[in-house]
Amino acid sequence: MIDTFNDAPDTIKRPEPSPSGPCLEVFAACLAGDGFSQISKANYMRVASYLCRWLIAHGHDLATLDEAALATVHEDLRRGPRMRGGSCRVAGFPPAAHRFLVWLRAEGWVTTVAPPSPPLPPLVAGFEAWIQQHRGLAPRTLRVYRSLLLVFLAAVGDDPKTYTAATLRTYVLDLSQRAGRSFTKLGATVARMFLRYLATDGLVSPALIDAVPKMAYWKRASLPHRLDPADVQRLIDACNPRTAQGRRDRAMLLLLARLGLRSADVANLRLTDLAWPDGRIWVCGKGRRREALPLPQDVGDAILAYLVDGRPKADDDHVFLTTTAPTRALHPSSVGAIVTRLAARAGIALPRVGSHVLRHTLASTLLNEGLSLPSVSALLRHIQLDTTLIYAKVDPALLQTVAQPWPLPVAP
């Protein structure tokens, strides 16, 4: 396996027989299975082989390799000669060596353990445990709350006894000067939630919860962003069906445009969610609610084309995977970035960056075509019909059924 990485003249030579030889063979096979390019595999193997030779030369056992040893090897590399068998950028050594060490630990080749992450402040840890018990937040939402709480604590301090209505108002006002309305609104929400937790434990007065200012917000005051149906088709046509990436992107776009899925719905879709015999697809959306949606023919064909000829071979059961190594599931933000990139390729000016504009477009189009509001609400998987009412504002025919006649005569 290692021999296949030595085609280029500047790659490492095959390492001499040593106790680490079998380890390198297995590592090489794993790199090949993860879909790394020939050049990337050669670079990783060069670093791994150098590490093994360095350990042997200095009388160390591979099982004792840890972060401190990596730092020592890196420093020696910076001051000493280049790696034998070809050049190696010193700047590229730490990430490659770290990946090798992570793999060694996962496979049981080393006995050292990774250094623990810095512990969370007691107030943050207690708040997370409390909100998980009472709200059951998704991990991604919990990370957002954690980051905003750390911002709050950095601004007002970690001693609840010093919190006053004035300091809380100052925090929100300062935050509004540095961030947008949505971010400030969420920051204030997290602050109130944190104060509610503190009040539950008797650390602050419950009256402080109402001291956090609320951002001005008028429900359904804005219009939903949407595209023309012709632009949606241009966006889909921007995918190149002759490439694996194009087939993947086309399948994702059709899920967004035909079923109104959110970016997280697409990113979290798994192979077991595709109920081919029933012509349905299972989606786990907000609130971890699992619901079945009909799978249109063109959407199913696009997904099948990607699965048959395009999806990398991997142990991951997510439907949509990255096209670059290491092969892994797409992040929801990557789905939105793909939509933005394809829109730029098609020459479409998105009214809103990301994939959610396709969800708005679908809802508005269906209402314009005469579909009832409850039917659109069911397709979008809204818990309350009230959430879907925003789309009624872009349907003139629907508005005419509820608009009151003007009571005064109209001037000629």
Catalytic: which of 226, 359, 360, 381? 359
205 phi-psi bin (left φ>0, alpha ψ -120 to 50, beta other): beta
Between CA 135 and CA 138 the distance in angstroms is 9
Rounded Cα–Cα distance for residues 290 and 325 (Å): 30
Which CA distances in Å does 74 have to 45, 65, 92?
16, 13, 10
Q: How far is the C-alpha of 256 from the C-alpha of 234, rounded, in Å?
A: 14
Work out the number of other CB atoms within 10 angstroms of the CB of residue 319.
25
Which of these is catalytic: 192, 352, 356, 393? 356
- For the chain, what's the residue count? 412
Instruction: Write down the catalytic residue from 250, 262, 318, 360.
Output: 262
Marked catalytic residue, from 286, 290, 341, 345: 286
In sequence order, the 6+-apart residues with CB closer than 8 A to the CB of 397 are 368
List, in order, residues 6 or more apart from 363 with CB less than 8 Å away. Answer: 224, 260, 376, 379, 380, 388, 391
Question: What distances in angstroms separate CA 205 from CA 124, 134, 149, 170, one per listed residue?
Answer: 19, 20, 19, 18
From 50, 163, 171, 391, active-site residue = 391
Contacts of residue 382, defined as CB under 8 A and 6 or more positions apart, other chains included, come to: 388
Rounded CA separation 338/145 (Å): 26
The Cα-based distances of 388 to 68, 255, 359, 381, 382 in angstroms read 56, 19, 12, 10, 7
Q: At what angle do helices 165-178 and 181-200 cross, to 10 degrees?
A: 150
From residue 152, alpha-carbon distances to 160, 163, 176, 299 in Å are 12, 11, 13, 44
Q: Is 356 a catalytic residue?
A: yes
How far apart, in whole angstroms, are the C-alpha atoms of residue 183 and residue 185? 5
Neighbouring CB atoms inside 10 A of 206's CB total: 12
Is 360 a residue of the active site?
no
Residue tagged active-site, from 60, 192, 382, 393: 382
The Cβ of residue 24 has, within 10 Å, a number of other Cβ atoms equal to 21
Q: Cite the active site residues.
A: 262, 286, 356, 359, 382, 391
